[in-house]
A and B are shown apart, each in its own frame.
Chain A
């Protein structure tokens, strides 16, 4: 959005009369702006009916399996389906309309409960165009509209024609530009043609996608196995088992004879399956990955079956995240994500900007998104963190193992004369190693342009939090941390994930407080210079005595 570059215009275009700009925009917009309320693409009906077919199949399943018997219930149900579901789909289609005006997108929908939603054009963060396999075959696309206001998708148009989808995005974009008066006319004109100034920042070839998948690991196959089991009639499985009883017995006997071998084989098979499904998932998600820079927005498109195309305005990038795992790191591969607010649930508020690239390429790319300077050295946290983590993990392990060891039946496996769970305590040295690694990988740096934090063992993160995106500053100390005089320091940013949150854990208390001061000082200084640049004076907002301070019995709040 152009608002930050033109602070004055933003306020009056949002507050001052929409009527004022409407006729002017009316006169000058041939750009296929959708003026009249529009329906979705008619083929949507087909897709919706198709999507409801599995339900019908479930209803009809008994009839399909033995057509001879008279299965009245399912016939009645399917007639009901025809009488209720199909009209519902058609009514929903007829009662859904959308309209795009220079100020807002209006979506009206609902059969029984009408909903009339208008989304202000300026608030739109991202318009994403998504095509799944079927939609691609018949040239449709799903358009989702995200705003900063909520974490959920604000509006979704399912489905419109692909060309319509691009037109909508183009229209919204040009309206956003229009709302800034000093945006050049030429620039607006350039937007009307299909973004000629887009520059390819990053693209992945097929071998690169496969290689990237080879470094990942996924447990997705377990879900796949289970969903495959859903499709098969359980009775058939049991029958097959009973028929092949002899072979099964043979297998179980072999397994019982060589327990170690069995465990190893299981691990190897699980590993291979996980590896293969990692490759496949990556292929499906990132096939044909491309990232462009359209003057102030990142645009990316990827996917094998479901093609997703989305944009991220550069100004809306809240933080940069470099991510890797130990295998990838060993070969110098990294992933770049950006943190945004209009958050995509699939990606947990993080948008992958480059799934797989060498360190230098990633850094160069990240510099294009937002300029920063990596610190040469990261400060480390207190060494006491090793002790704390070691105790915590050992306690957790004991809580897991001790009840098991206590209640271990005498008839079960006792390797070396002790119940199996006792042997679990052999993991304690590993825990120490783990805690050491976590200490070693945890570092932070406070610089003028932001806060840099790196952390993580299996999933290694480097967060780059720019000063201008800081929101609130916290230093916390739990009961145990206070005993060791430690603190956790974090700066809240908009859209940060709850899991894998950027914080500096177990800093010495004094250092944490000092760094909090420093970070806040940076933030203040940044905004002072901005105000000075704007108004020509360091702080012309309010007189000293007019500034807010505690009104009740206040004796000179600040020096």
Chain B
């Protein structure tokens, strides 16, 4: 064999025209989840402000702490999901699952379909509201033993799952994965 990445039969890892974005409404889901997080930070701040409302010498004007937390939290809730959405891309190719994501930490991942141990499609309460699903792909690798694609329309997630299953079932090589 003479392997080389210029062989036309071998798909290069990144022909970027096929990389797809997640479903739009995943941004709303992320916003809701982050809002919950911000709320858990905001409530203690508000509590602190209220309990110090009548203190003799307030070192901060009323509402400074809770206001700051709320303001930053709202910006975070609105901006972060957009950044995250923009950073996400994935593609199911004939022999591999390709994805790139991460706002601060950029990650490009290639998971050969042959290496997938099993695939789940899961949904939590909020995702069910938006009819989205999460594709969770388990490999035997130690660091990336589960790879998650969030925010796919549920039927599409299920179809991808079935495609992966079919690939594995029809793989002529039946060696042990590890």
Q: Which residues of A contact B171 (CB under 8 A)?
A: 541
**Total interface residues in chain B, CB < 8 Å:** 58
Kindly state the separation between the CA atoms of A86 and B113 in the bound complex, as whole angstroms: 54
* A530 lies within 8 A of chain B by Cβ: yes
- What residues on A are CB-neighbors of B12 within 8 Å? 517, 521
Name the segment of A42-50, A152-160, A476-484 touching the other chain.
Answer: A476-484
Q: Chain A: interface residue count, which band?
A: 35 or more
| Interface bits B1-24 vs A (CB < 8 Å: 1, else 0) | 101110111111111001010000
Q: Do A551 and B159 touch (CB < 8 A)?
A: yes
Contact A10 B92 (CB under 8 A): no
CB of A67 within 8 Å of the partner chain: no
Q: A7-B175, A493-B141 are in contact. Are A482 and B106 (CB under 8 A)?
A: yes
Are B104 and A549 touching (Cβ within 8 A)? no
Taking the closest CB of chain A, its distance from the CB of B85, in whole angstroms, is 17
B145 CB → nearest A CB, Å = 8
Assembled-state Cα–Cα distance A551/B177 (Å): 27
Neighbouring A residues of B129 by C-beta, 8 Å: none
- B13 surroundings in chain A (CB, below 8 A): 473, 513, 516-517, 520
Q: Are the C-beta atoms of A531 and B142 separated by less than 8 Å?
A: no
Nearest opposing residue in chain B for A554, CB measure: B18
Inter-subunit contact B140/A525 (CB<8 Å): no
Chain A residues with CB under 8 Å of B142's CB are 349, 492-498
Name which of A493, A526, A541 has the most chain B CB atoms within 10 A of its CB.
A541
A277 within 8 A of B: no
Residues of chain A lying within 8 A (CB to CB) of residue B160? 548, 550-551
Residue of A nearest to B142 (CB): A496
Query: 14 A-B residue contacts at CB 8 Å?
Result: A471-B115, A471-B139, A472-B110, A478-B106, A498-B142, A513-B108, A521-B4, A521-B12, A524-B11, A531-B172, A548-B113, A550-B92, A552-B153, A558-B93
Residues of B within 8 A of A (CB): 1, 3-5, 7-15, 18, 20, 91-96, 102, 104-115, 139-144, 147, 153, 156, 159-160, 163-164, 166-167, 170-178
Extra contacts, 5 of them, besides A477-B105, A548-B167 (Cβ < 8 A), are A7-B173, A341-B140, A470-B112, A472-B147, A517-B5
Interface residues of A (CB under 8 A from B): 1, 3-4, 7-8, 10-11, 148, 315-316, 318, 341, 349, 448, 469-479, 482, 490, 492-498, 501, 513, 516-518, 520-531, 534-535, 538, 540-542, 547-552, 557-559
